[in-house]
Amino acid sequence: MSSTAIAPPKRSFRERMHLAREDAIVSAVNRLLAEKGFDAMTVDEVAAEVGIAKASLYKHFPSKEDLAAAAMVRVMDRARAMLDTLQADASARPIDQLKATARWTMEVQLDGEMPSLPSENSSLRATLINNKAYMDGLMDVSERLGAWITAAQADGSLSTALPPIAVLYTMYARACDPVLGFLKGAELYTREQIVEMVLTTCFDGLRARP
């Protein structure tokens, strides 16, 4: 007897509209977080950006912290999907996978789609720590990058004098590197040139080469 896959139930028009509005809200939050950061962003700005009343906004997300957390989860999901693509290339060297990750991070920031990380005393940090989707994503990304860092040190591509955690945090720092914004604002270099310059300083340092 053959079995057939059961198709998932179709969403109602109301459900589709609800999801579409949530998507628009998270996209707006993402842009505002990238532009202003969590502390400067207001719920009123988010509502105005989406074109809905603040009361309607709270029906989707009960607080400013929940709004920002949803945006952070979305970026984390994008990062995991990007890592999946890199891992699918069995011939890629660990150092090349790390460079590709840093490049992606910088490109997302230059596109204005990378939320600024919360400060140590921010209420958002506590919300993120208690957000399972975000913490699971962070652990997954950290483990995968950590494995590439260890492998790159083992094959001589990265210095073994640096603790792997220092390299990992350096990778994460590219998500909020102000050098990208300074170089973009100077209007002297193309997007690709900016990424290559910061990528070089990250992996090769600033010392002169023979």
| For the chain, domain boundaries | 63-204
Instruction: Please name the residues in contact with 70: beta carbons below 8 A apart, sequence gap of 6 or more.
Output: 22, 25, 26, 29, 61
CATH topology classification for 63-204: Tetracycline Repressor; domain 2 (1.10.357)
Mean pLDDT for 24-33 is 92
pLDDT per position as a tens digit, 92-119: 999 999 999 999 999 999 998 898 777 6
> Structure tokens of 10?
């179709």
pLDDT band at residue 4 using 50, 70 and 90 as cut-offs? low
pLDDT per position as a tens digit, 45-84: 999 999 999 999 998 999 999 999 999 999 999 999 999 9
Q: What is the pLDDT of residue 8?
A: 61
pLDDT band at residue 6 using 50, 70 and 90 as cut-offs? low
Average pLDDT value over all residues in the chain: 90
Q: What is the pLDDT of residue 197?
A: 95
> Structure tokens of 187?
């209007």
In the block, residue with structure tokens 């506590």: 126
Residue 132 has pLDDT above 90, yes or no: yes
Please state the pTM of the whole predicted model.
Answer: 0.86
Residues in the chain: 210
Residue 143 has pLDDT above 90, yes or no: yes
